[in-house]
Structure 1
């Protein structure tokens, strides 16, 4: 069995198109999406329609949830921008997404953690950076989830964690945003994804990075007035204050 895993697209259609083209070369049995699909100053409506057409198993991210929860007036700038761009059909699709999804007894999809779309399952919040959680911390955040393979996103940080009882957790990183204001810095603008393969009862993983036209994405963010996204999309680093 071969799974392709994407997450945290954030409306970056150009990155999604590039990732999808590369994924198809691996001929996966299924492609799954771990949420935060459209929120961003790029192509939110176009990305929603692309995902609707593909119909991949998808769970709801924290930004997806905020877009469909009242009151709309409580949205932050990026979600308010996104909400204005989305059609009723796209908002309706977001509202149908589950918070978690069990593909089989062995495979659990979530955005943050099995219990919360805002929990950092594999990392701790250091104030202005992430640092890895210890095994006991990861187990606490997993709660009662006992799937052999747990797929999560949210932190935009590619990682595989192998717990001592052989439970595995994969974060594929972010398709669309490599430097998220505040915490995430990958250091390159390449779009991320992962391939998980099960053979002879064992899972193996490959983390993918693919180039796309990040200059176009950065320029689009700048034109929408989101300067913090402009630099991150272009470089994979946060903007330096001067």
Structure 2
């Protein structure tokens, strides 16, 4: 069975629909999302609708957690600005669905969380041999850092599929990963960013909130 993993969509439906179209050409048996469907960009309803229609299982990310619980991010005002706007447009049915997301999932031998296994919601995992030696299992997937990578440690393999909607590894193309039962493979696809910029402007946000999409910057905007 061939699996695909997506993460950190963040309301960027333009990136998501391009990734899903690419996955449709790869004979994927099941797609999984490792969190952060909402946050940052305006098309959160479209993103939720796509995952729900395709019955894509997802874990809860930290932005999903903020939205579902009515809270805010303790470390970023810009994140909170985006959340405040998104709460005014989020459809109730999608909010109720978001509240049901688990914090962990398993697909056969693959274990999934959004952050890490110390804190499934909000750990910024830096893979090391010692980290995974403490865990049971063979294959591990998480997101949250927006940095795409594969890490081999003894008999264990960890994969971060990178971010669909807001890459932070210097490559602005939307990211995802596939898994053939033994090995992960990383993928990138280009998408139409201008639609995202136009929607953010229409919602009242300036370049600070979306400029980083152009370069795959670690910050919202590459300074």
Match of residue 109 from structure 1: 112
1:135 aligns with 2:129: yes
Q: Point out the more displaced range, 10-19 or 36-45.
A: 36-45
SS in 1 for 2:39: coil
- 1:129 equivalent in structure 2: none
In the alignment, the residues of structure 1 paired with residue 96 and residue 90 of structure 2 have an alpha-carbon distance, to the nearest angstrom, of 10
What is the match of residue 6 of structure 1?
6
Q: In structure 1, what is the Cα distance between the partners aligned to 2:93 and 2:102?
A: 17
Contact 2:128 2:153 in 1 (8 A): no
1:175 has 2:175 as partner: no
Q: Secondary structure at the match of 1:76?
A: helix
Q: 1:240 to 1:211 in 2, by over 3 A?
A: closer
Match of 1:182 in 2: none
State the alpha-carbon separation in 1 of the partners of residues 41 and 70 from structure 2: 21
Equivalent residues, number:
215
TM-score by length of 1: 0.82
Equivalent of 1:192 in 175, 183, 188: 175
Higher strand share: 1
| 4+ aligned runs moved over 3 Å, structure 1 | 70-75
Partner Cα separation in structure 1 for residue 30 and residue 102 of structure 2:
18
| Aligned CA-pair RMSD | 2.0
Shift of 1:208: 0.7
Which segments of 5 or more consecutive residues in structure 1 lack a partner in the other structure?
124-132, 179-184
